[in-house]
Each structure stands twice: as structure tokens, then as C-alpha cells.
């Protein structure tokens, strides 16, 4: 991603006018307007129109706007894409992505529109086939022209499709998604926490996802925004440590060194790169 990956990406069902109107005023890093699972199939035509109508009267734009369309091969896919592109999103979220061809097909579909800026593609890994093909899909991230910029773990659909019932049992798959994403240079967002009144549980889930290396979390309720922004941002301790590493390597006596000691710990130049990444992230958060 050329922009910092979102710490918080809030889904808003396109069928919910009141929530849509609020989109630009929310403090999440990204808004994902949903035309797929959160909208009843019979309500999808109306929801699509409502999205366009409400987006026209927004007084400002969300920080980063994404739209989740239905798969292109579904009966809603093409109409969804037309409506989504009309509101100039920064990203299109492709649900149930299962093969590299589906991602290149979406990129090719963009070519049929006169777009000042091509949106990024965020692919959801949420089916058994999608999981198995995640490494092949991630390879597309190495060729920027495809526009693939992120994976999102779709944990609800994965549970439904596999029968897995516990978060623990899903851990290896989340790490598989993480590893594939990083191999392709992609950002990676964790699935949603359904129990949105349970903020302690949500915070624990954010800490766990951060520990696994995820950049942020997809959200379903505004109450989840503040904790996600806080937990996925570099902590004060991490920022202080990063500054210390930067300062130490900047000293004239360390100029030619690949490895130095700080407070009894070995610090290499790779840690300097990590420190710089943390400080860059801190600026955005």
C-alpha cells in the first residue's frame, strides 16, 4: 500500500442510510460500504442506489473509502462495480476471492471505465479454496499493475464453510493468510468481532491480531473504532525504543557499523529499518 494500512476498517451496510450519512465523520482509517453479506439479496438494488445518493451529499470524504461488491460472476457483481466506481472509492473489496484469475478479472474490469485513479483491490480470504490459493493470489501483489494491495481474513465465512467452531482452531489459517500477504507485499486485516457490546473481548482480539502481525482489524460497530486505532498504532514504548535505535545509529562512532549494543541488547541495521517503519506509522496515527 502506498498509504499506511488501515488500523480500523468499519463496514457500513449500504442499506443503512443513517449509518452511511455518518461515514465521513467517523474516526476510522477506512470505511467499507457493504453491498454483499450485510445486505439482503432482495434489498441490493435499492442499497446500491442509496449508496450513490448518500455519497453525493457527504460534506467531506471518509479518510479512505472502500466498497465491498458481490463477486463479479454473481448476479449483482457488475451492477455493484458500476455503482461503486461512481463514488470514486480508494479500494474495491472482493469477497470470497479464490483464484488469481478473479483478481486479474477485476483489474481488467476497471479498464472498461474512464477512471482518474484506479482503486486498490482488497481480496477477502474466507473460503477453503481461497485459503489454499492465498499464496498464488498474493503473488499478484508483486506486480503493482494488478492493484492488489491487501488481504482481509473473513473469519465468519471461514467458520461457516469449514465447521471450525473455535478461534484457537482458526489460528493456523490466520497465520497462513498473514504469511501469504507478506510474501506478496500486501497489507493484511483481521476479521470482525461479532460481539460488539463486548469491548474487553474486542480489545483482547485486537491485541492477539497485532501479535500475529496484522495491520488492523475490520469492524462492525463505531464503538470498536477507538480501541482498534489505539491498539494497532505503535505504543509509546515502541516509539521511544525506535527513537533510541535511530539516535544510536546516527552517532558518528556507529556510522560504519552493522551491529551495535543498546542497553545490553544487540541491535542490527535491520532493527533500524524496523524502527523507521514504526516512526513512519506513528506519524500517520
Partner that binds at residue 205, options Mg ion, ligand COA, none, CB closer than 5 to 8 Å by kind = none
- Least Cα distance to 228 among 199, 269, 254 occurs for 199
Candidate segments 1-9, 154-162, 193-201, 229-237, binder of Mg ion by CB under 5 A = 154-162
Phi/psi of residue 261, each to 5°?
A: -115, 130
Partner that binds at residue 22, options ligand COA, Mg ion, none, CB closer than 5 to 8 Å by kind = ligand COA
Using CB under 5 A as the binding rule, whether residue 215 contacts Mg ion is answered as no
* Nearest CB to ligand COA, comparing residues 157 and 241: 157
Q: How far does Cα 213 stand from its chain's mean position?
A: 13
In terms of Cβ atoms closer than 10 Å to its own Cβ (0-12, 13-18, 19+), residue 224 is buried
**Which stretches of the chain bind ligand COA, using CB under 6 A?**
10-13, 16, 18-19, 22, 34, 37-38, 192, 196, 220-222
Question: Cβ distance 258 to 268 under 8 Å?
Answer: yes
Chosen residue from 157, 190, 215, 241 binding Mg ion by CB under 5 A: 157
CA distance 20 to 26: 10
Using CB under 5 A as the binding rule, whether residue 80 contacts Mg ion is answered as no
Partner that binds at residue 203, options Mg ion, ligand COA, none, CB closer than 5 to 8 Å by kind = none
- Minimum separation from the CB atom of position 218 to ligand COA (A): 7
Chosen residue from 4, 16, 21, 37 binding Mg ion by CB under 5 A: 37
- Minimum separation from the CB atom of position 22 to Mg ion (A): 23
* Nearest CB to ligand COA, comparing residues 130 and 184: 130
* Nearest CB to ligand COA, comparing residues 11 and 249: 11
DSSP character string of 136-165: HHHHGGGSGGG-EEEEEE-HHHHHHHH---
Spell out where the chain has E strands: 8-13, 30-34, 65-68, 91-94, 120-125, 148-153, 187-190, 216-219, 259-262, 265-268
* Nearest CB to ligand COA, comparing residues 34 and 241: 34
* Nearest CB to ligand COA, comparing residues 212 and 221: 221
Amino acid at each position: 500500500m502506498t498509504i499506511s494500512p488501515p488500523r480500523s476498517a468499519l463496514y457500513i451496510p449500504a442499506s443503512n442510510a443513517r449509518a452511511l450519512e455518518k461515514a465521513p465523520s467517523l474516526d476510522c482509517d477506512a470505511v467499507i460500504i457493504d453491498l454483499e453479506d450485510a445486505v439482503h439479496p432482495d434489498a441490493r438494488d435499492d442499497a446500491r442506489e442509496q449508496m450513490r445518493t448518500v455519497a453525493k451529499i457527504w460534506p467531506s470524504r471518509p479518510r479512505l473509502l472502500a466498497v465491498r461488491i458481490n463477486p463479479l460472476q454473481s448476479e449483482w457483481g457488475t451492477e455493484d462495480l458500476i455503482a461503486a466506481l461512481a463514488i470514486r472509492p480508494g479500494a474495491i473489496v472482493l469477497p470470497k476471492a479464490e483464484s488469481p484469475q478473479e483478481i486479474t478479472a477485476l483489474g481488467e474490469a476497471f479498464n472498461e471505465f474512464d477512471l482518474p485513479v484506479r482503486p486498490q483491490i482488497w481480496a477477502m480470504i474466507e473460503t477453503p479454496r481461497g485459503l489454499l490459493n492465498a499464496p498464488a493470489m498474493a503473488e499478484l501483489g508483486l506486480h503493482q499493475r494488478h492493484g492488489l494491495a491487501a488481504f482481509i481474513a473473513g473469519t465468519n465465512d471461514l467458520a461457516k464453510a469449514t465447521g471450525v467452531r473455535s478461534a484457537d482452531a482458526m489460528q493456523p489459517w490466520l497465520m497462513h493468510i498473514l504469511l501469504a500477504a507478506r510474501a506478496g507485499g500486501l497489507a493484511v486485516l483481521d476479521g470482525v468481532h461479532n460481539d460488539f457490546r463486548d469491548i474487553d473481548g474486542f480489545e483482547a482480539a485486537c491485541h492477539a491480531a497485532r501479535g500475529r502481525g496484522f495491520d488492523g482489524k475490520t469492524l462492525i460497530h463505531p464503538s470498536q473504532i477507538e480501541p482498534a486505532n489505539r491498539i494497532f498504532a505503535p505504543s509509546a514504548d515502541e516509539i521511544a525504543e525506535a527513537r533510541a535505535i535511530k539516535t544510536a545509529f546516527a552517532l558518528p562512532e556507529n556510522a560504519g557499523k552493522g551491529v551495535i549494543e543498546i542497553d545490553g541488547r544487540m541491535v542490527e541495521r535491520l532493527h533500524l529499518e524496523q524502527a523507521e517503519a514504526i516512526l513512519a506509522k506513528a506519524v500517520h496515527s
